[in-house]
Amino acid sequence: MATHPSLPVQLLPLPFQRGVGAIDRDPDRLTMRLRRSLPVLELDAVDSSLPFLHRSASLGAGSLVVHAAAHSALHAVNRPQEAAVFTMPLAGEKRFLLGGHTWVCRAGESSLYLPGEGYSVDTSVASGVILSVPPGRLAATAAALAGRPEGAVAPVERPVLLREDDPRQGHLLAMLRRALGLIDHATLEAGARLHLSLGLDDFIERLLALLLYPGLLESPAPAAGIDPADRKAFARLQEAIRADPMDPTWNLSAMERFSGLSPQRLQAVCQEQLGSDPLRWLRLLRLCQARRVLAQGLPAHELLPLAMRSGFTGLAAFSSAFRARFQLDPTLLALPDPADGPSA
Distance, CA of 293 to CA of 280 (rounded, Å) = 20
Please, what is the Cα angle at 87 between 83 and 92, to 5 degrees? 155
Residue type, 294: L
Smallest gap from residue 179 Cβ to other proteins (A): 6
Q: How far is CA 261 from the centre of its chain?
A: 32
- 320 is a site residue for other proteins (CB under 8 A): yes
Q: Work out which of 105, 129, 179, 208 binds other proteins, going by CB under 8 A.
A: 179
Scanning residues 216 to 255, which ones bind other proteins (CB under 8 A)? 216-217, 219-220
Cβ distance to other proteins smaller for residue 219 or 249 = 219
- 145 is a site residue for other proteins (CB under 8 A): yes
Cβ distance to other proteins smaller for residue 199 or 248 = 199
Q: Are 277 and 302 in contact (CB under 8 A)?
A: no
DSSP-based three-state secondary structure for 155: coil
- 335 is a site residue for other proteins (CB under 8 A): no
Tell me 137's DSSP state.
H
Q: In this chain, which stretch among 52-60, 110-118, 125-133, 274-282 interacts with other proteins, using CB under 8 A?
A: 274-282
- 149 is a site residue for other proteins (CB under 8 A): no
Pick the closest to residue 20 from 38, 2, 42 (CA basis). Answer: 2
Smallest gap from residue 217 Cβ to other proteins (A): 6
Q: Work out which of 40, 160, 182, 298 binds other proteins, going by CB under 8 A.
A: 182
Q: Are 261 and 230 in contact (CB under 8 A)?
A: yes
- 19 is a site residue for other proteins (CB under 8 A): no
Scanning residues 281 to 300, which ones bind other proteins (CB under 8 A)? 284
Q: 278-295 and 228-243 helices cross at what angle (nearest 10)?
A: 30
Smallest gap from residue 35 Cβ to other proteins (A): 30
Cβ distance to other proteins smaller for residue 35 or 193 = 193
Q: Are 7 and 14 in contact (CB under 8 A)?
A: no
Smallest gap from residue 182 Cβ to other proteins (A): 6
Cβ distance to other proteins smaller for residue 125 or 287 = 287
Strands (E), the chain: 40-45, 54-61, 64-71, 74-78, 84-91, 93-98, 101-106, 110-114, 119-123, 126-133, 160-163
Q: In this chain, which stretch among 41-49, 78-86, 175-183, 298-306 interacts with other proteins, using CB under 8 A?
A: 175-183
Q: 135-145 and 200-212 helices cross at what angle (nearest 10)?
A: 90
List of residues contacting other proteins (CB under 8 A)? 145, 167, 170-171, 174-175, 178-179, 182, 184, 194, 197-200, 203, 206-207, 210, 216-217, 219-220, 271, 275-277, 280, 284, 320-321, 324-325
